[in-house]
Amino acid sequence: MLYNQLMSFTFVSPTYAAFIPGAAWNNVGCASEGVATIGGLECIIINITKPLPALIALAAVVMIIMAGIRIINAGSDAKALAAAWLSFTYAIIGLILLAVVWLALVLIKNFTGADVTNINFQ
């Protein structure tokens, strides 16, 4: 029994077409009596795009770490050092752009009241 509980650990939660945790419209358009409907596509799109900013930030942090390792390992090779610094620069630019876009969305939400940070097709 304990073995089954330990082996059920998942790193990423599965994407469900019929259920969005915490959503007020779980039973509207996503599933009809346990049968997936065409409205389930909305739920899938929402479940896929919701963790997207966090995944982009994670990818940028991994790129920064890898660029740092490449900078350290470049030694006296000027081309390798330039390529590593370029990779580092692109990762920093990506993080800055992600932060600016998210800040713009939050400002739009605060000034207009339109909840543009959450996707809702209803």
Residue ranges making up the domain that contains 7: 1-50
Q: Are residues 108 and 74 in the same domain?
A: yes
Q: Are residues 43 and 61 in the same domain?
A: no
Q: Are residues 74 and 36 in the same domain?
A: no
- pLDDT tens digits, the chain, 122 residues: what are they? 444 444 554 555 555 555 555 555 444 555 556 666 777 777 777 777 788 888 888 999 999 999 999 999 998 899 999 999 999 999 999 999 999 998 998 898 888 888 877 766 65
Quote the pLDDT of residue 5: 45
Q: Which residues contact 37 (CB under 8 A, 6 or more apart)?
A: 29, 30, 31
Quote the pLDDT of residue 32: 57
Rounded to whole angstroms, the Cα distance separating 85 from 15 reads 37
Q: Are residues 76 and 121 in the same domain?
A: yes
Quote the pLDDT of residue 12: 52
Q: Are residues 63 and 112 in the same domain?
A: yes
Q: Which residues contact 98 (CB under 8 A, 6 or more apart)?
A: 53, 56, 57, 60
Q: Are residues 74 and 25 in the same domain?
A: no
Q: Are residues 26 and 63 in the same domain?
A: no
Q: Are residues 102 and 66 in the same domain?
A: yes
Number of domains in the chain: 2
Q: Are residues 60 and 38 in the same domain?
A: no
Q: Are residues 34 and 94 in the same domain?
A: no
Q: Are residues 40 and 86 in the same domain?
A: no
- Which two three-digit tokens encode residue 48? 């896929």
Sort residue 29 into left (φ over 0), alpha (ψ -120 to 50) or beta.
left
List helix spans (H) across the chain.
Answer: 2-7, 40-49, 52-74, 78-112
Q: Are residues 9 and 58 in the same domain?
A: no
